Amino acid sequence: EVHLVESGGNLVQPGGSLRLSCAASGFIFNSHSMNWVRQAPGKGLDWISFISSSGETVHYADSVKGRFTISRDNDNNSVFLQMNSLRVDDTAVYYCARDLGADTTFDYWGPGTLVTVSS
Amino acid sequence: DIQMTQSPASLSASIGDRVAITCRASQSVDIHLNWYRLKPGEAPRLLIFSTSGLQYGVPSRFSGSGSGTDFILTISSLQPEDFATYYCQQGSRIPFTFGPGTKVEI
């Protein structure tokens, strides 16, 4: 069974940093691209980053480009999101999501981790 | 960026009702359109991929249709667990944008 679990969410001040982790199990991790998607309070879903199965290709939404960095460790079945220069509008539940593989389809999601940016 | 819109923004329905949600893209996404259900406190669940593909384990009361810019998610007979918010998402071009959601309420 596919299982994704995010961790690392916390309360942080504006301008601060956080590193999110997503532990994956139940599938061949290095065969799938991975993504991060977030949902701000009372808002809809917002894709923010993609990483290919090898880690060689990454993409970001404009809202996080230059501040967030996605990476992965295929030996330990994990994907990460390093978040720097955090802003109040980065407050959200952050989900990691597996990519189905054809077009970008998020077929399995973790339960999410809450990031709150506030002074 | 490809902008996604959904209609209606919300709807009221009863158990057993047939429900249709529309999604429109600002430019063609071919068939690269997916649907998700999101319930409070739960992880989002993929329902339909590539316009009409039923995700493994998803009940057959869910179906999808369309192509290009106009798509429909249909629930043939609404069940209690279907009261939730539904999102479409295009997988054609970066950034992979979502619609604003449709809330299905009793």
Instruction: Report yes or no: A90 and A83 within 8 Å, Cβ to Cβ.
Output: yes
Amino acid at B53: G
Confidence at residue A103, expressed as pLDDT on a 0 to 100 scale: 75
> What's the pLDDT tens digit per position in A54-76?
999 999 999 999 999 999 999 99
Backbone torsions φ then ψ of B83, nearest 5 degrees:
-75, 105
State whether B50 and A103 contact (CB < 8 Å): yes
Confidence at residue A104, expressed as pLDDT on a 0 to 100 scale: 86
For Cα atoms A101, B59, B2, give the angle at the middle one, nearest 5 degrees: 45
Confidence at residue B41, expressed as pLDDT on a 0 to 100 scale: 87
Confidence at residue B100, expressed as pLDDT on a 0 to 100 scale: 97
Share of chain B above pLDDT 90, in %: 96
Window B:23-82, CB contacts with A under 8 Å: 32, 34, 36, 38, 42-46, 49-50, 55
A89 vs A48: CA distance, rounded Å: 13
Instruction: Report yes or no: A93 and A112 within 8 Å, Cβ to Cβ.
Output: yes
Confidence at residue B83, expressed as pLDDT on a 0 to 100 scale: 92
Q: List the single residue in B with minimal CA-CA distance to A107.
A: B46
> What's the pLDDT tens digit per position in A81-115?
999 999 999 999 999 999 987 678 999 999 999 99
Share of chain B above pLDDT 70, in %: 100
Mutate to test the interface with B, among A27, A34, A104, A114 (most CBs of B within 10 A): A104
**pLDDT exceeds cutoff 80 at A116:** yes
Which residue has tokens 């043939």? B76
Strand partners of residue B65: B72
Confidence at residue B106, expressed as pLDDT on a 0 to 100 scale: 80
> Alpha-carbon dihedral of residues B83, B88, B89, B92, nearest 10 degrees?
150
Share of chain A above pLDDT 70, in %: 99
> Alpha-carbon dihedral of residues B73, B76, B82, B87, nearest 10 degrees?
0
Q: Is B100 exposed, middle or buried (0-12, 13-18, 19+ CB in 10 A)?
A: middle
Q: List the single residue in A with minimal CA-CA distance to B100.
A: A44
User: What kind and span of H or E run contains A62?
Assistant: none
A58 touching B, CB under 8 A?
A: no
> What's the pLDDT tens digit per position in B30-79?
999 999 999 988 999 999 999 999 999 999 999 999 999 999 999 999 99
A94 touching B, CB under 8 A?
A: no
**Residue of B40, B100, B102 lying closest to B75 (CA atoms):** B102
Q: List the single residue in B with minimal CA-CA distance to A103.
A: B91
